[in-house]
Each structure stands twice: as structure tokens, then as C-alpha cells.
Structure 1
């Protein structure tokens, strides 16, 4: 009897404790009903989480909670809550949740996904040396030159616009970081990046892998029985081959006295001063490639998608462009100040199809209280900007692309709605985790948005009978970051004079390109020579 009593009491205690696992603790925001042990794990979306998270927000409010086993997630679909918790209290919400996948693949040195640590602060400080507004302006010449090639590539091979954009975005960031451009999409570094980035984003999408951080025993499943482990191994090998290959190539060039002023040269020279070791430098460059290549190309692909799908918006943008710039020269960044409709179009594209619809999850470093709710230390915080930007309480007809909304009010909201909590750069992140490359990215977006409107007509493809083929504006890639899947459209120059200007500007950019053309393959060299002959 003396043995059985404590054993029975122990079992009862364990049973009662297990019944509480997965339950919503007092003080948490409301949310979907939970199941014992699982919480909301059984209904957690495995792909395109922003759609389900937005559906729940319409039921449970702009701040609600999910129980994922014993863990807690807070979902913010309210601009005021984002401003208060993520921006004003960023010291408490700057962490990232534990991500075993990130640790396995990158060793914890991923600046965008890593925990809030001394290593992260070192990487962030280092990145800021080239990513201030003033420093970003130094890179406008190579951005403009690469944009001229993008126009030329589309002019010559319009059916390949999807990959032309990828080449452009990759070449810009490679030039800035490593002083080495990509003249073709088939250039080794560009194809290698987009191949590994596609796998990396799918691996990181919420719900795409087992809840390893909540059920640590899953870490010990043999790799042959765990596809996610196989995917991690493959992704790590591909990332390191690309990122550290570029780093070593730059180091060799520095050793030979062949510097051209790129960012990673400075990092290598100042490693000790900056406190950056080889692993940190390799992943710093890699993360900046990710931020500069994939997000920019996804945005520009979405822009073309909406220009085709909403021809009235395209026509209005072209009318403004013709009034401000005319037909005899290409637009420059200075012209954008005189183009309110095109600025509105750029902002509306961010709202309509944000590249990171859930941003990247944050994690609370301390307990916080907001509107009577507890935001517990260690909880995961999702910022559902898709849900904010598609809220019918904030926006008229949010499911349609309407640039005019940003002409009627600063933040595009309905008349009479106070939109002051809607920070214009919200698509780039929140608090201390806002994208460090925001200024570089905005220049790239602005240059190309103007160029597209100035240079081309974008129209729907047609079927065998000549009928327009409607585009599916929801046909997007899965992943933490997302862009439209490849689609077809017709792209034609707006005039023969503009086609001639495009060719002239591309040929004139050769001197700028030459500073970044080294280590090219024979195929790249042949392409460069062939493409720079006036037709």
C-alpha cells in the first residue's frame, strides 16, 4: 500500500498535467478551440498559412492565439498591435523562435532567422556599413546599368521575362556584395542560387516540417526515415557550395591585389575589427544575396502580373509617365517625385501581393501585456500583413488592385479611417528585424517600375482562337517568401524610338559592367561579346 499510493498519485498528477497540455492558458488572447496535447496543431496550416490565419482573424480578432502542443503562438492581424508590440516594444520582440531547421542548415548564423544574440548583433552592425540610405545611393549606377540590360533582355526575348528578372536581381546584389555580376540567367551563381533558395523557402514555410522545436525527440529520427532531414542536408551542401565559394573567390582576389571595392572585400580586410569569422562572413553574404535576389525578383514579377491583369492601371501609369518624361529619354529616380500615380502603383503592389505575407516569425524575450492580453515570454509572434492589407474594414475592395486608393489617403485606407498605424515600409519587416537592405531594394523597385511603364505594353496571352487568357493572380509559389509562379503574357515595346533608346542605354552601360565582369565562364564571355553588338 505504501508503494501504490505515491505511484497512483503520481499517475494522477501526470494525467492531469497532460490534460492541460495544449490548453489555452488564462490571459492569452482567444483563438480556435484546442485539443488535449495537440492544442491547435491538428488544424495548423501546412501551406499558404496566411490565408487560414486571415480567416481566423476575421473570427477571433486582430490579435489571437494558437496552441501548438505546449507552445504558444500569437498572431497579429492588427496594425496598431504591430506598431505597439513589434516597433515600440521591439526590445522585447526582436528574437526569433527556436528553429532547429535553421540551426541544422546554417549553424545558427542566418542573420534574418537567427536568435537575438551577440553574433546576430555583430552581423547586423556589419551589414549596416553598406546598407544606409547614403551608402545605397552609391550603388545606383550598377542598379541602373543592370536595369538597362533587363529592358534589353525583355526587348529581345520577351517570353523569357520571368528569368530575365531573376538574372537582374541576382546580378545587382552579386555586384554590390562580391563585385561580380551575372550577365546571363544561366550564369552559374544565379542558377545555383535560385535552385537552393526554392528548396530553402519550402523548408522554412510554417507547417512544412514536423514540429521539431516542440517535440525535440523528432531530432533523433534517423535521416533515412525523415525526409526533412534529407532536405536539410541537401540544402546545407548547396548553400555552402555557393556562399563560401563566392567568399573564397573574393578572398583570392584580395590576396592578388585585384579589389574592385565590393562589400565582402571590406569584410575580409576588417574581419578582426568587425569581429566576424569565416562562418559569419560566409552566411552574412549568403543572407544578403537571399534578401537582394529573391524578394526583389518576386516583387517585380508580381508587378508585371498586375500590369497585365489590370490594364486600366497600366494605362493610367503610362499616361503619367508620358506627361512627365516623354518618349525621348528613359526615366530616372529624380522623376519619381513627379509621378504620384506610379508611386501609388508601387505601394499598391506591396499591399496586393506582399512578398512575405507573414513576414518572418518573431519571438518574445519577455512577458508583455497588450489590451488586457498576456503575450508570454518565449511565444512565437506571427505578423500577418496579408490579413492587414486585405482587411475590408481598412480598405475598399481589398481583393482588387486599385492604386488610386493611395492617392485618396496616405496609407490607402477608406475615407475616414485613421491609417497612421500602417507604416509604409511594413512589407520590409518590423522593429529591430526590419530588412537592413530596404533602401537598396526600394531603389531597385523604383527604377524598374518606372522603366517597365515607360518601355513596354504588357498584355494577356491569347489562346488558339485569339481570346485573352485570364491570369490567376493567386497562383503563387509556396514558402515563407513567395512570388507568382511562371506565367505567360505578351510584352511589346511602346514605340520603335523607345526600342532604340533601350538598345543605346544598354550599350552605353558596358563601361559600368566591365568593372564587375571577372571570372566569367566561356559561355558568359561569348554572351557578353554577342549581346553588345548593335543590331
Structure 2
């Protein structure tokens, strides 16, 4: 990637994912979460499809400056379907059980005998088209709003402040870089939320306690406040953190590791020599289920994070310990971690304010049987019902306010 915009890409992206950038995007996440609540109410039990739409809403708006409805209008609903297909194909390509990862010589096997080689061009096609759609919509947003464009949107902001990059979107490096950020923001939120819904449906006592905290904080019979401070909802946050520990998103269901990193220089760490080119993996599952650090680690118990910032047993040494290793560690930790966690906290608060989550059949929470063996731990399909705690009139009013918020933050159509 050329240096004339490499640093600019990273700086702008980071600005939106930490500190004040997170505070600025919170109202957008709140509006998207409110729309999710209403869409679940309207669609009945088809909640997983609504979750996919919600997962796209804030990242699409944040990246391109356009609501996801514009993508449907300009590219058809097929763009959404194709995007999720691209993610399925990409996940298959990252399958940790692929023997080529163990026996590198297999990469020279002809494609007629190697299924992954035949699928790779298809995955690339769908990923490329999805990313190009994101870039093209960003340019439309910039042209529509001109110099007064809302500063919340990453790609239009980049193109506006660096006019020399106006044609750089054709460079696949920039397109892929932005697409990678988009994928991380979408996928981590949706997959993590599915696990959280499963956990709370299977543990109604935790769900009731979270709802009581939300009702106390925001008022059960009152409209939701314009600006939701989910930082006050300590138990809700504990529910989110515990779901990430209990079933780490990045830990393979067929093994304990997250995504690998590669050392670019020789390193000495605690007396160990790590040669350049080594693959480095974090044993996420074992860290998250260490009985010496956690009380009954196999159980979903938000109380551990409510009592202690890192969920540790009483008296356990915590020096240098992180609350989660789901998103990696060190300088290569996922940059969108805080964005995803904030997005999930806000949406969960809205869901629990509006609904009781009730099992509609057996729930399998077993790590081996109840989750797919893929690049990320995702629950196998399960059935729950969202039983309204509010009247439809109250939820409709919240949706009306959310639609106004989206319009004000992204700007109206020219």
C-alpha cells in the first residue's frame, strides 16, 4: 500500500474506534439497536435475519455515510445476501482443519483435487464485490453531501480531507483495508450477540437481574433516554464479558486457539527465542477456562465480572491480566474491540428493556455439540421467543425517534 495514504487510513480508522470516536458513534449504535428491537417485534421469530441487518447498520453508516437502506435501494437486497455469502465462503477458506496448514506441500496440488483452491476464486469474487459496493456508496455519499458531510463517516472523511485519494478507491489495497475493518465490525458483533442470546435464554436468572438493572437505570415505564449511558449498567456489561469468556469468539470449536500472528523479526521473550517467521497463537480457550484463575470456569456466571474487573477468583494474582483475550493481545489486538463491545452492550440493553428472551425448544450450550467447528465459535441454530415487555405503541415511538436520529446524523438525501 502506498505511503501517501497508508498512515492516513490507519489514523482515521483508529480515531473512530477508540476514545471520543466511540462516544460519537454511540447514538448511531443506539438508533440501530432500536430499529433491531422493532424489527424483531414485527418479524416474529425470524430474529436471526434481523440480527444480520442490525449487524450491518452501524458499520455501513460509519464506513460509508449511508444507511443500509441505501444499499438495498441502489444494489438490491441481493447486496446484503451476497455480503453474508462472502463471509461464509471466507470462513471456509480460513478453516483451521485444512490439511494444507499442516502440510504446506499440499498447496501445489492441482485444483481439481483441492476443493479449497476451487472455492478461493469464488470467495474472492464475492468479497471484492461487497467491498467495492461499500466504496462506491461512500463516494455517492461524498458527492451528495459535499463539504458539509457528516464527520462520522470514515471513507468519505478520508476522501474529502485527502483529495489526491479520490481515485484511490480503485486500488484494491485501500478497498480491502476498509473492507477488512468493515468485516471485523460486522462479524464480531453478530456472532457474539448470538452467543449472548443463547446464554441469557439458558440462564433466565442472569437475564432477570440484567433487566432489573436496566429498569432501575432507565425506568421500565418511561421512554428511553436520548443518550444511554451503558457504562452505568455494570451487570449488563458483566453479561457481555462473561459470554466472551465462556465461549471465546476467536477460539476454534475444534481446538483452543485464536487466529495466528506471524513474527517479523527474531524475538526473545521470557528466555524463549522466537525466530522470525514463527506463527504465534494465543491459547484463548485454556486462558478463559483456567480453574486456577476462575471459579467454576465452565459455567456462565456474569457475577464474576460484576465482582472483579477481570473475573478472577478472590486472592488470585492479576498483574498484567486482561479481562478478555477473545480479541487477541498486544499491538496486534483487534482494533475494533471496543466498538464491538459497545455495540453489543447498547443493543442488549435495548433488547432486554423491550423483551423477555424465552427458549422455544431445547438449547444446547455444550462447546463441542452446540457450536459450529469453524474459524469462530458460533452457536448452531436454536429457537427462542422474544416476548414483549412493552406495548407496540411505545416501541413504535422509539423506532420513530431512531429513524430521526439516523437522518440527523447521516444527513438527509439531496
TM-score (norm 1): 0.67
Aligned equivalent of 1:443: 342
Q: Which has more radius of gyration? A: 1
Secondary structure, in 3 states, of the residue corresponding to 1:138? helix
- Write the distance in 2 (CA, Å) between the matches of 1:398 and 1:425: 14
Query: Is residue 44 of structure 2 the alignment partner of residue 145 of structure 1?
Result: no
Structure 1 residues 253 and 405: CA distance shift in structure 2, 3 A: closer
CA contact (8 A) 2:13 2:154 kept: no
Q: Offset of 1:388 from its aligned partner?
A: 0.5
1:335 Cα offset (Å): 4.1
| Residues 411, 420 of structure 1: 8 Å contact kept | no
Aligned partners of 2:287 and 2:86: how far apart in 1?
31
- Which residue of structure 2 aligns with residue 95 of structure 1? none
Question: How far, CA to CA, are the matches of 1:266 and 1:143 in structure 2?
Answer: 19
Q: Structure 2: how far apart are the matches of 1:225 and 1:304? A: 40
CA distance in structure 2 between the partners assigned to 1:518 and 1:189 by the alignment = 22
Cα deviation digits, residues 189-238 of structure 1 (max 9, x gap): 322221111111121132325138x63x5444333332111111000111
1:362-394 deviations in whole A, cap 9, x for unaligned?
A: 122333334443323221111122211111111
- Deviations along 1:270-314, whole A, 9 cap, x unmatched? 264799662222112211220111110111111111110111111
CA contact (8 A) 1:395 1:412 kept: yes
The CA RMSD over aligned residues, in Å, is 3.0
Find the counterpart in structure 2 of residue 180 from structure 1. Answer: 66
Equivalent-residue separation in structure 1 for 2:134 and 2:273 (angstroms): 46
SS at match of 1:492: strand
Aligned to 1:239: 127
Q: Aligned pair 1:267/2:158, yes or no?
A: yes
Structure 2 unaligned runs (5+)?
Answer: 252-256
**How far apart, CA to CA, are the structure 1 residues paired with 2:5 and 2:281?**
23
Shift of 1:170: 0.6
In the other structure, the counterpart of 1:37 is none
1:430 maps to: 329
Matched, 1:513 2:403: no
Q: Indicate how the Cα distance of structure 1 residues 141 and 335 shifts in structure 2: closer, same or farther if over 3 A, else same.
A: closer
Residue aligned with 1:509, SS: helix
Which of the residues 191, 205, 210 maps onto 1:298? 191
- Residues 312 and 332 of structure 1: is their aligned pair in 2 closer, same or farther, counting only changes over 3 Å? farther
Change (3 A) 1:141 1:339: closer
Match of 1:487 among 373, 378, 382: 382
Alignment equivalent of 2:240, drawn from 328, 332, 346: 346
Residue 92 of structure 2 corresponds to: 202
Q: Tell me what 2:224 maps to.
A: 330
Q: Any conservation in 1 of the 2:66–2:141 contact (CA below 8 Å)?
A: no
1:390 aligns with 289
Q: CA deviation at 1:471?
A: 3.2
Query: 1:169 aligns to what?
Result: 55
Q: Give the structure with the larger helix fraction.
A: 2
1:227 aligns with 2:115: yes
Contact 1:174 1:182 in 2 (8 A): yes
d(CA) in 1 for partners of 2:11, 2:117: 32
The 5 A counterparts of 1:314-329 are 314-327=207-220, 328-329=222-223
Per-residue deviation at 1:152? 0.4
Please state how far the C-alpha of 1:435 moved relative to its aligned partner: 2.0
Q: 1:252 to 1:274 in 2, by over 3 A?
A: closer
Q: Secondary structure at the match of 1:419?
A: coil
